[in-house]
Amino acid sequence: MNNPPLIEYRNITVCRDEYIALESISLSIGVGEHVAILGPNGSGKSTLIKTFTRECYPLLRDDASLRMLGKDVWNVFEMRAMMGIVTNDLMSAVTREFDFTGREIVLSGFFGSVGLWPYYEVQPYMRTKAEEVMKMLEIQHLGDRQVTQMSSGEARRVVIARALINDPKALVLDEPTTSLDFKAMHELREFMRKVAKAGTTILLVTHHLPDIIPEIERVIMLQKGRIVADGPKREVLTAKALSGLFEMDVDIEEHNGYFHIW
């Protein structure tokens, strides 16, 4: 029997207030597949992610289903073990209100929280794992530093380390290069390549074509809550398709496996 897809949407419609943010979305992403999602502001990209993280709820319809590894129902703990999530909401949560160290943020991934609280029982294996992940991301030096005293690139790596602490099947990144300088952007892309090559699915939402690392072979385009293209990146990423998607004339060029738009 074939392995079930990591995520499978069938006829998923999501309303946010009165607005239809996603309309009859059907798509399936396999384990180990790497996918980029493109679309203008407000097209529903973050809603698509928030639907499987259970922050947004689809309309209950007989013909609709949302499955993770073949299961219709999963709880938030199962989701966390499966998906490492890095969003800008999480980035703001990390630096809001409390001032935790990098290590505390990374460890908090075990508890699904942002930061550690005195009643959490941090086990020795958790500390060992946190050190391992921080080493892999080359952020050991940030372990004792307060997050509010980190640059946005450093804080983002800490949040990525937090997402990877449970060895998830997928790393889900919603606009991860926002506010990063060229070097931090480059390093993050190289890091995504490392994760992808290690067999973890990369599910990336981005506005920057060069974020689509060579390992990502599939691109999905969203417009006004609907999928308007879904296929191999070299077939989907055409000047015509991008011009239609963003409603402006653009040109596109591929260079060393990366795509650029102007």
Ligand X SMILES: Nc1ncnc2c1ncn2[C@@H]1O[C@H](COP(=O)(O)OP(=O)(O)OP(=O)(O)O)[C@@H](O)[C@H]1O
Contact 153, 188 (CB under 8 A): yes
Q: Does 21 bind ligand X (CB under 6 A)?
A: yes
Closer to Mg ion at the Cβ: 133 or 222?
222
Q: Does 46 bind Mg ion (CB under 5 A)?
A: yes
What mask of x and - would describe binding to ligand X in positions 133 to 172, judged by CB under 6 A?
A: ----------------------------------------
Radius of gyration of the chain (CA): 18
In this chain, which stretch among 12-20, 89-97, 143-151, 158-166 interacts with ligand X, using CB under 6 A? 12-20
Residue 244 interaction partner, one of ligand X, Mg ion, none, beta carbon < 5-8 Å per kind: none
Closer to ligand X at the Cβ: 146 or 243?
243
In this chain, which stretch among 40-48, 77-85, 110-118, 190-198 interacts with ligand X, using CB under 6 A? 40-48
What tokens does 11 get?
């006829």
Kindly tell me which residue out of 39, 58, 102, 115 binds ligand X, with binding defined by CB under 6 A: 39
3-state helix, strand, coil in the chain (%, to 5): 35, 25, 40
113-118 long-range contacts, CB within 8 A, separation 24+? 114/90
The residue whose two tokens read 């998607």 is 245
Residue 129 interaction partner, one of ligand X, Mg ion, none, beta carbon < 5-8 Å per kind: none
Provide the minimum distance between the beta carbon of 204 and Mg ion in the complex, in angstroms, as a whole number. 12
33 φ, ψ to 5°? -85, 150
Closer to ligand X at the Cβ: 11 or 146?
11
| Exposure b/e, 109-146, CB count within 10 A at least 16 = b | bbbebbbbeeeeeeeeebeebbeebbeebebeebbebe
Contact 8, 65 (CB under 8 A): yes
In this chain, which stretch among 41-49, 61-69, 130-138, 226-234 interacts with Mg ion, using CB under 5 A? 41-49
Kindly tell me which residue out of 45, 208, 218, 233 binds ligand X, with binding defined by CB under 6 A: 45
Binding site residues, Mg ion, CB under 5 A: 45-46
